[in-house]
Structure 1
């Protein structure tokens, strides 16, 4: 047996776990690191294929003092997957199967590394679908979505990820496997430990398996893009559509003028019908068939058009036209073609306060720098705004001023400085200055109790 003390970390892992996929620096060359260029900074990715394998790997890392960064689809926009030399990455890419779908219960037991789109396709074979959807569905994994408590397009109707999860299996920092794979909503049996793992970004445990709720698939859709003056009008439209029989509101997404006009110009999308200062509001409904969906949406909007003050609008006449509308919202990172790492944020507020917040925000930015312009868009029916400053990455001092302008009033309004992208390390300033101090203290205490050696995703929330 060789002397492992002289081996590199990569060689030690390959020696200790010959049946696991261990990829080193050479293997990672040319592989897409995901949303952050330093996601592969550790230079070692281990891909176990079971919770037992993950537990063995965690135990080995604990014994050797090696910290771990868990990876799902590497779609984190807050730096939650960034790693460094001396660490190892545990990828859930081989934990990518559906264990079971229960049609009667409308539940699915799924491994953490499966992508949302793959799960949606598997469920569709049974006439079912997930109660959550994201533009990054093709790469975002179910475990990663749980770890960041992802929201997305359906949160206004179904809630965020924690509302979709019935059970969780996870490997804890001591190498034990926590298994609470219940398939029922009603559980009154002491503290709900799985809720500690949801939204913890891998700091408390590595999720390996989940039980999710499913709902009936409604594949027949109709889409419209409407011109509205403000969020108040858009919310009134969404409320009226929600209350109507014969249709179901599937999406309610709004883009403020600067965002929709810059993006539409880039894609040569005709906005001649959209008044200059108007916002673009996308609504999508489902019904029993495509023709019924289209006629129902047109009739529903005609019924409220003047009452609510819809300025104008276009209706998709085909699936292709619907995709052309949706790409304007879902391909929201178009500005990265023009700016180097522009400051971006996602906040949430009570929906009724969105117009006041956006107006105040523009005023604060004008005082901060009259040349700053803001892209504003988001899931307005649940109060989630995405905000990007049209500029290259500013220096640290200016970044603080920008964050203060963004976060001012959010907590006081009853909102959150981070709505659905997690905290990672990029939102550390927001967490430490705009999150409740008692909440931060409790999170550190939990981290210390579960992971006293700080082996799980160190340097990220809760920054212990």
Structure 2
């Protein structure tokens, strides 16, 4: 069979073009016209194919199986752990054409959407009915629902509504043999055997490609109010969250924290300040309440501030009184990429801890990083309501040696499972965190993962080199579950 310069058989490419249409397959220079997203290596594949229906995708997968070609599923390419990286000889399967909202029922509070639908598109469609998908994150404009399912994304409202795993009622996917798994249940109560959708949620495309989901929707409050607090300690910030969860008026919708180094950097970058608001606190917290009346919500936030002053007199607060002030406060937290201006490609990490462990953990990280490299400090921010911390470093990626990175990761991950936490809160494993998974996970869990992968994808054609390291597990000498 004739091989093209891109390393894929000509007949194979012809078969793909017959399935999706010539306009929906890119090779060579045409691939370079696409935006690679967060990872320059996302588009290293020899072909990018965009099926328009689940049937086309199933036929595509069967063709890849027949030719032994590996597949890398991609959505909005917003992943941060290399889950979408592709190489020559592979095919990227893009869900960009699978972007329809097929059903949105305001009485059921359920939407049925295809995997390539962006979070923002679903949010806007749901908002027309005063509803929302119950999950939000800064990359909403490009992150796709399928990609968020694949990494089990969390985001700003996870402490209240759960992560993606808790939002999905039913799911459709194409499995590694090209068969279509369809269980688009639209009800919460479903005890009909194994709930197999959970094998695909968080699997990062290694067990199949999600094509469509039924997702729960939540009511959007008529009004909201936002305040920024400054505290002298983490316990004070946690006390503020507890009080906000018990709000007499409204309900807590966001509790986003920024430790001092990150907050001051962001405030300087954006030129943000407020009268009588101290820039010398240890931790800063954005609280957002939702409810029926904006004025009443602002009064509730003011009441929370007054009560906190009794126990924590050093507390500062600023209440947003306009949309512009609210957006300025949120910009401090959401536009964390500003750090790359001074620290290009700074290594970033995504961990979660029980709330009771957070204070000691952050202190241990500070001391541990300084021991690895004098002057190395963490920029810490994240979703304080659920214990999810994002950590970046005050160094560019090329300013750290491999040994220094290994030292940083040892500080971050050592003992984290014993504390009841996770080395990956919401970004996934991808290709960059496989070593962390194997360093921290229960060995039996790893064996079960391998057994499932072997059964569903025996040829290893679905997103190889991501999440699971079959070779490493095989070399461990541990017994395996029968496949």
Counterpart-to-counterpart distance in 2, 1:15 and 1:130: 36
- State which of 132, 150, 160 in structure 2 corresponds to 1:147: 150
Aligned twin of 2:460: 454
Aligned twin of 2:49: 46
Aligned twin of 1:199: 202
Residue 222 (1) aligns with residue 225 (2): yes
| RMSD (Å), alpha carbons | 1.9
Aligned twin of 1:159: 162
Alignment of 1:411-426 (within 5 A): 411-426=417-432
Runs in 1 of length 4+ with deviation above 4 angstroms? Answer: 2-6, 8-12
- State which of 114, 117, 120 in structure 2 corresponds to 1:117: 120
| TM-score (norm: length of structure 2) | 0.92
Q: Secondary structure at the match of 2:380?
A: strand
Alignment of 1:381-392 (within 5 A): 381-392=385-396
Aligned twin of 2:87: 84
Shift of residue 16 of structure 1? 5.2
- State which of 354, 370, 376 in structure 1 corresponds to 2:358: 354
Segment of structure 1 superposing worse, 386-395 or 168-177: 386-395
Counterpart-to-counterpart distance in 2, 1:288 and 1:305: 26
Segment of structure 1 superposing worse, 368-377 or 53-62: 368-377
Aligned twin of 2:402: 396
Change (3 A) 1:191 1:309: farther
- Does the Cα contact within 8 Å between 1:236 and 1:308 map onto a contact in 2? no
Counterpart-to-counterpart distance in 2, 1:99 and 1:316: 38
- Does the Cα contact within 8 Å between 1:252 and 1:381 map onto a contact in 2? yes
Residue 185 (1) aligns with residue 188 (2): yes
- Does the Cα contact within 8 Å between 1:241 and 1:300 map onto a contact in 2? yes
Which structure 1 segments of 5+ residues have no match?
Answer: none
Shift of residue 308 of structure 1? 4.8
Aligned twin of 2:284: 280
Shift of residue 310 of structure 1? 5.8
Change (3 A) 1:8 1:362: farther
Shift of residue 292 of structure 1? 2.9
Aligned twin of 1:266: 269
Residue 379 (1) aligns with residue 413 (2): no
- Does the Cα contact within 8 Å between 1:226 and 1:310 map onto a contact in 2? no
- State which of 233, 238, 248 in structure 2 corresponds to 1:245: 248
Any idea what the Cα deviations from partners look like across 1:116-158, whole Å, max 9, x if unmatched? Answer: 1100000011111111111111111101000000000001111
Counterpart-to-counterpart distance in 2, 1:339 and 1:418: 22
Change (3 A) 1:310 1:137: farther
- Does the Cα contact within 8 Å between 1:237 and 1:308 map onto a contact in 2? no
Residue 35 (1) aligns with residue 38 (2): yes
Residue 318 (1) aligns with residue 322 (2): yes
Aligned twin of 1:441: 447
Q: Secondary structure at the match of 1:284?
A: strand
Q: Secondary structure at the match of 1:151?
A: coil
Aligned twin of 2:25: 22
Any idea what the Cα deviations from partners look like across 1:84-121, whole Å, max 9, x if unmatched? Answer: 01000111111111111122221111111001110000
Change (3 A) 1:50 1:17: closer
- State which of 131, 134, 158 in structure 2 corresponds to 1:131: 134
Counterpart-to-counterpart distance in 2, 1:123 and 1:375: 35
Shift of residue 222 of structure 1? 0.8
Counterpart-to-counterpart distance in 2, 1:378 and 1:161: 17
Counterpart-to-counterpart distance in 2, 1:257 and 1:307: 21
Shift of residue 408 of structure 1? 1.9
- Does the Cα contact within 8 Å between 1:96 and 1:113 map onto a contact in 2? yes
Change (3 A) 1:59 1:299: same
- Does the Cα contact within 8 Å between 2:154 and 2:164 map onto a contact in 1? yes
Any idea what the Cα deviations from partners look like across 1:405-459, whole Å, max 9, x if unmatched? Answer: 1112311110000000000011122111112221111111110100011110000
Change (3 A) 1:16 1:225: closer
Shift of residue 7 of structure 1? 2.3
Give the length in aligned residue pairs.
463
Any idea what the Cα deviations from partners look like across 1:164-199, whole Å, max 9, x if unmatched? Answer: 110000000000000111111121122111000000
